[in-house]
Amino acid sequence: MTQGDDRILETLESSGMVLSPAVIAYNTDYTRNYVNKRLRILRNESLVNRVDEGYYRITDRGRAYLSGNLDADDLEQSDD
């Protein structure tokens, strides 16, 4: 997990909305390409769901990670 992953998850959680990678990138100061790459990884870890083509929301597992109830060591640690 990266600091960017945390920011992406925090943005999704605090908004309470379904967001596109472009909106997440704009609000986190990361590039859209970076956000797209990290969203794929977060999705593989079941921390976010793709609700429609190009739109994501945080999952209960993602909230558990942010609250400290799910340790990063319990994830696959795929940082490609």
Domains in the chain, please, with CATH? 3-68 (1.10.10.10)
Residue 17 pLDDT level (bands cut at 50, 70, 90): very high
- Name beta bridge partners: 48: 58
Q: What is the pLDDT of residues 22-56, one digit of tens each?
A: 999 999 999 999 999 999 999 999 999 999 999 99
On whether the pTM is more than 0.85, the answer is: yes
**3: how many CB neighbours lie within 10 A of its CB?**
8
CA 47 to chain centre: 6
Looking at beta carbons, which pairs linking 58-63 to residues 24 or more positions away fall under 8 Å? Answer: 58/9, 58/12, 58/13, 62/9, 62/12, 62/13, 63/13
